[in-house]
Amino acid sequence: MSDATTPRTDGHAARRRGTRAQVIEAAVRLVAERGFSATSVDDIALAAGVAKGSVYYNFTSKSEILEAALAEGSERLQTTINEARGDLRGREALSAVVGALLSSMQANPDFAKLMAAEVFRVEREWQETIGALRAVTIATFADVVGEISPGEDASLVGAATFGAVLVAGLEWLLFQPDRSVEDVRASVLRLTAGL
Amino acid sequence: MSDATTPRTDGHAARRRGTRAQVIEAAVRLVAERGFSATSVDDIALAAGVAKGSVYYNFTSKSEILEAALAEGSERLQTTINEARGDLRGREALSAVVGALLSSMQANPDFAKLMAAEVFRVEREWQETIGALRAVTIATFADVVGEISPGEDASLVGAATFGAVLVAGLEWLLFQPDRSVEDVRASVLRLTAGL
């Protein structure tokens, strides 16, 4: 973000952070529904309830909005997962991380849909950001799987575990929303009980 | 497809089927890479190596191409899965279905990427077709899980199993292509060994 050329009050800064967050939230929602190319900056401004000029005050392009959305979402997800894992190891860590990922998906289903739609697209401008999200998430599960079954080559098992949480979570949020997060966590842990 | 108004020879029919298949294949590849809205009918015609008029001879719109691609891909996948399952039950059925799904993904990685990107988008024109693909795939896994652990509410476990195969499969095809299909199948079955 470029420096403002005029002095700004705290009120300005707060509004600017607010606008930025509103734009990101609207972009995630629209792109999750329609896809990136079908979403225009006009659509995003309208959905965010801000002027198009405010969007361009915060971002240089539509790609930069998505890049920021994925970067911030990834960072938040990573923090949530790390905090949930804490000092836990093995099976307890798996249970905590699965629960944290599902709760994050419930708190922001649009980001979850976006993640599923983009996580294996390798030709996007934000490829590095989504690649980091994919790598970190899979690596966390691979690490925990390695704690449960030491010595195992866990990278593909880690990917499979991430996929199990992602797809069970979306199935839940979109088609069985009356189930509790505990139900879904139990289903994933049921699948992985033999690790 | 509408009836031709002039009599056609077998050669014509063969060419027309060929064109249709080429168009579908190109559309799946481009949409898997760039997304639906970023792909034009011109792009598809160019990538398929056919005239734009030939595209519109076979399909009325870009949506209809995607609809046909998803319908044909789903039908093929369903046939493959059913044949692999055959009379097998329980753990043997799981192993066969996981292997068949991974082999299908290997044979058509573009379709696999498209499936991952679209399977939880619920606002598309081809929503019913992708919904049927999702439902049938998850139901097959839920059914097999139910055979392994009778009495269990298996719908979410089925979704988790489908997700495990889908994400491990894409991780393999995109980032660890030197691994064998047997390696990947073993990783997924390792995850699900406790069912």
Taking only the tens place, the pLDDT of each residue in B7-38 is 444 566 656 669 999 999 999 999 998 888 89
Domain boundaries, chain A: 1-60, 67-191
Cα–Cα distance measured from residue B90 to residue B147, given in angstroms and rounded to the nearest whole number: 5
B40 to chain A: closest CA residue: A37
- The alpha-carbon gap from B77 to the nearest alpha carbon of chain A, in Å, equals 18
pLDDT of residue B16: 62
Mean pLDDT computed over A1-12 = 49
Helix, strand, coil shares of chain B, percent, nearest 5, are 75, 0, 25
Residue B10 is predicted with a pLDDT of 53
Structure confidence at residue B19 (pLDDT): 93
pLDDT at residue number A150: 83
- Residues in chain A closer than 8 A to B187 (CB atoms): 156-157, 159-160
CB contact under 8 A, A195 and B195: no
Average pLDDT over residues B113-136: 86
By mean pLDDT, which of A14-18, A92-96, B7-11 is the weakest?
B7-11
B157–chain A Cβ distance below 8 A for any pair: yes
CATH assignment, A1-60 = 1.10.10.60
Chain A residues within 8 A of B166 when measuring between CB atoms: 163, 167
DSSP state letter for A9: -
Q: Does A187 touch chain B (CB under 8 A)?
A: yes
Q: Is A126 helix (H, G, I), strand (E, B) or coil?
A: coil
CA–CA separation, B118 vs B120, rounded Å?
6
How would residue A4 be classed by pLDDT, with cut points 50, 70 and 90?
very low
Chain B residues with CB inside 8 Å of A190's CB? 152, 157, 195
pLDDT of residue B62 exceeding 80: yes
Q: What does the pLDDT look like over A120-159, one tens digit per residue? A: 887 788 888 888 888 889 999 999 999 998 877 789 999 9
Best of B115, B156, B174, B192 to substitute, by most chain A Cβ atoms within 10 angstroms, is B156
Q: Give the burial string for B70-109 (b: 16+ CB within 10 Å, else e).
A: bbbbbeebeebbeebbeeeeeeebbbbbbbbbbbbbbebb
Q: What average pLDDT does chain B have?
A: 89
Residue with token string 């139910």: B146
Dist CA B128 CA B40 (whole Å): 22
> Cβ of A163 and B166 within 8 Å?
yes
CB nearest A120 (choices: B121, B157, B174): B174
Q: In Å, how far is B40's CA from the nearest CA of chain A?
A: 11
CATH of domain A67-191: 1.10.357.10
* Nearest residue in chain B measured CA to CA from A29: B121
Q: Which range (B14-18, B67-71, B150-154) has the least confidence?
A: B14-18
Q: Do A195 and B194 touch (CB under 8 A)?
A: yes
Domain covering B69-191 in this structure, CATH number:
1.10.357.10
Residues of B in contact with A165 (CB under 8 A): 160, 163
Mean model confidence pLDDT for chain A: 89
- Percentage of chain B exceeding pLDDT 90: 70
Q: Which residue type, as a one-letter code, is found at position A15?
A: R
Q: Torsion angle, CA of A82/A83/A88/A93, rounded to 10 degrees?
A: -60
Q: Which residues of chain A are within 8 Å of residue B36 when distances are taken between CB atoms?
A: 35, 37-38
Q: How big is the CA angle at A181 (ends A177 and A183), to the nearest 5 degrees?
A: 90
Residue B26 one-letter amino acid: A
Q: B52 versus A33: which is more confidently predicted?
A: B52
Q: pLDDT by residue (tens digit) across B86-103? A: 999 999 999 999 999 999
| pLDDT for the residue numbered A5 | 46
Integer Cα distance of B164 and B158 in angstroms:
10
Most confident of A19-28, A31-40, A117-126: A19-28
Distance between CA atoms of residues B77 and B84, nearest Å:
11
Q: Does A34 touch chain B (CB under 8 A)?
A: yes
Is the pLDDT confidence value at B138 over 90?
Answer: yes
| pLDDT at position A44 | 97
The answer to whether residue B174 scores a pLDDT higher than 90 is yes
Chain A contact present for B189, CB below 8 A: no
Q: Do the beta carbons of residue A156 and residue A172 sit within 8 Å? A: no
Min distance B56 CA to chain A CA atoms (Å): 22
- Which residues in chain A have their CB less than 8 angstroms from residue B130's CB? none
Contacts of B30 in chain A (CB under 8 A): none
What is the per-residue pLDDT for B122? 77
The answer, yes or no, to whether residue B5 has pLDDT greater than 70, is no
Let me know: does A60 contact A39? Beta carbons within 8 Å.
no
- The set of residues, in sequence order, having a beta carbon less than 8 Å from that of B43 and lying 6+ positions away, is B30
Buried b / exposed e along A35-65 (16+ C-beta atoms within 10 A): bbeebebebbbebbebeeebbebbbeebeeb
Q: Tokens at residue A37, please?
A: 């190319």
Q: Among partner residues A33, A164, A167, which is closest to B123 by beta-carbon distance?
A: A33
Domain covering B7-59 assigned CATH 1.10.10.60 in the classification: yes
- Using CB atoms within 10 A of its CB, is residue B181 exposed (0-12), middle (13-18) or buried (19+)? middle
Mean pLDDT confidence for B103-121: 92
Residue A48 near residue A26, CB atoms below 8 Å: yes
Q: Are A185 and A102 in contact (CB under 8 A)?
A: yes
**Which amino acid makes up residue B147?**
E
Which burial class, exposed, middle or buried, applies to B174 when counting CB atoms under 10 A from its CB (0-12, 13-18, 19+)?
middle
To the nearest whole angstrom, how far is the Cα of A175 from the nearest Cα of chain B?
A: 10
Q: Summarize the confidence of residues A164-181 as an average pLDDT.
A: 95
- pLDDT interval class at A86 (50, 70, 90): very high
Among partner residues B38, B113, B120, which is closest to A120 by beta-carbon distance?
Answer: B113
